[in-house]
Amino acid sequence: MEYAERLENVSVLGAAGKMGSGILLLTAVEMADLSLLPENKNKVFVLNAIDVSQPGLKGLMNYLRSQVLKIAEKKTVMLRKMYGDRDDLAENRDVIQQYVNDVMSVIRPSTRMEVAYESKLVFEAVAENKALKVKLFRQIDENNENKPWYFTNTSSVPINEMEKEAGLEGRILGVHFYNPPAVQKLVEIIKTENTLDEVHEFALVYSKKLRKVVVPSSDFAGFIGNGHFMRDALHGIREAEELSKTYSYPESIYMINKVAQEYLVRPMGIFQLIDYVGIDVVNFIMGVMNPYLSEEELHHPLLEKMLELEVRGGQNSDGSQKDGFLKYEKGRPVAIFDPDQKAYVEISGIKDKCDEILGPLPGEQVSWKKAVRLKGEKKDEVLTKFFNALKNMDTTGAEIAIRYGKRSKDIGKQLVESKVAFKEEDVNTVMLTGFFHAYGPINQFFD
């Protein structure tokens, strides 16, 4: 079956969700582009957007139309060539509107699973619940004569277990997009021992056409991205717990969050990142991974305590940040939750004290925004100078930062040694591309 033929009828499960909507958008554009090629003029492309929420699907269609319009405006020159035989499309606005119509005409929103029974490819982006995923795969597979391929967006559940329990015999592949899929360049691809070569090869071609950076991962719970992030987050929580023996929880969380962001030159602090992903999601993924780990415990009671107090983090439907460990106003942290007092404490009231405890940064401070703009040897030179200066400072902040950086490096090397990642470069690529770090965790800075 050729590439275009496989994409003639596709379904996305969980289409109205954050991940599903992005996967749907990317796939709809790819299918529409294929439909405009001369060799495909007689093919009918159908993309089923399946979700249990009717209101969610309504919002999805509005989101897709606005996003496709932006995409069309960015590639008007290409579209004029694609519609070169259309004399009726004289103006750019005509070409753009036609393209929006062509992309949207591919999409069929539905709350009925039955529409997937004719699909040749199924993307799954439902909740991180193995039983639910397996149930959906089984239902479709038992009613679909095409023996479809299944691309699961799971970020933590081993693929081989779903393959076995759903009886898919090599027709399932982990295709883990990063959030948001339409923006993030990284895709982790995870094969099982049974994955058919043609399934894997198709996924590589598809990802390349979407201009994604592909990193392979072994089929072990959490894969590379969460394999590093969950352990990194746990280290940050434990550091805050240790500080809380001397200082209040808000002070401890503020200090560790600042160290992770400013001292380690990251885009956001570790508690802010946990909030972004969702405290409930982080706790759940740790719970999925933990049974597969024989020599470490991936769990912390602070996460469960926050959830008991109904502090969850995550994002609103418009993309704005929900309150979690930190309270946000216009996207900026303004307070920190105290689980003992069950209330938020204003950062302005503890900032000066905490900054004094941590001590100053090196004189030539390197911001994340500056670091990510640097390339190659220049970046290595600037970061080496910064971290060498940090290692020579006798301050609380420097001590915590160096310990944190070394732990991050150890986690990365552990992923390679345990063969979750095939090489050190893969770990670094995931953290650079998927988490927007300025440098990979396996480096010379923390030797």
Looking at the structure, tell me whether residues 275 and 205 fall in a common domain.
no
* Cα within 13 Å of Cα(438), Cβ side: 27
Looking at the structure, tell me whether residues 200 and 280 fall in a common domain.
no
Whether pLDDT at 26 is above 90:
yes
- CATH number of the domain within which 156 lies: 3.40.50.720
Looking at the structure, tell me whether residues 298 and 241 fall in a common domain.
yes
At 364 the pLDDT is 79
**CB-based contacts of 244-253 (< 8 A; 24+ apart in sequence):** 247/354, 247/357, 248/338, 248/345, 248/350, 249/336, 249/337, 249/338, 249/339, 249/340, 250/335, 250/336, 250/337, 250/338, 250/345, 250/350, 251/350, 251/353, 251/354, 251/357, 253/325, 253/326, 253/336, 253/337
Looking at the structure, tell me whether residues 10 and 46 fall in a common domain.
yes
Looking at the structure, tell me whether residues 270 and 332 fall in a common domain.
yes
Q: Tell me: the pLDDT tens digits for 357-369?
A: 999 999 878 999 9
At 93 the pLDDT is 94
55 domain residue, yes or no:
yes
At 191 the pLDDT is 97
Q: Of 168, 192, 217, which closes a domain?
A: 217
What residues contact residue 41 under an 8 Å CB cut-off, 6+ apart?
35
446 domain residue, yes or no:
no
Whether pLDDT at 403 is above 90:
yes
The mean per-residue pLDDT over the stretch 154-167 comes to 97
Cis preceding linkage at 109, omega within 30: no
Quote the CA–CA distance of 12 and 26 in Å, as a whole number.
Answer: 11
Looking at the structure, tell me whether residues 236 and 167 fall in a common domain.
no
444 domain residue, yes or no:
no
Whether pLDDT at 389 is above 90:
yes
443 domain residue, yes or no:
no
Looking at the structure, tell me whether residues 254 and 281 fall in a common domain.
yes
At 100 the pLDDT is 97
Domain count, the chain: 2
Looking at the structure, tell me whether residues 134 and 205 fall in a common domain.
yes
Looking at the structure, tell me whether residues 329 and 424 fall in a common domain.
yes
Looking at the structure, tell me whether residues 176 and 261 fall in a common domain.
no
**149 has which bridge partners?**
121
Give the domain extent around 253: 225-434
Q: Tell me: the pLDDT tens digits for 56-89?
A: 999 999 999 999 999 999 999 999 999 988 989 9
Q: Tell me: the pLDDT tens digits for 405-417?
A: 999 999 999 999 9
Q: Of 217, 234, 250, which closes a domain?
A: 217
447 domain residue, yes or no:
no
Looking at the structure, tell me whether residues 207 and 293 fall in a common domain.
no
441 domain residue, yes or no:
no
At 294 the pLDDT is 87
Whether pLDDT at 1 is above 80:
no
Q: Of 178, 201, 217, which closes a domain?
A: 217
149 domain residue, yes or no:
yes
pLDDT band at 153 (very low <50, low <70, confident <90, very high): very high
At 85 the pLDDT is 87
User: By the 8 A CB rule, do 187 and 214 touch?
Assistant: yes
- CATH number of the domain within which 291 lies: 1.10.1040
At 92 the pLDDT is 94
At 182 the pLDDT is 94
59 domain residue, yes or no:
yes
Looking at the structure, tell me whether residues 170 and 232 fall in a common domain.
no
Whether pLDDT at 317 is above 80:
no
Considering the chain, what is the average pLDDT of its residues? 96
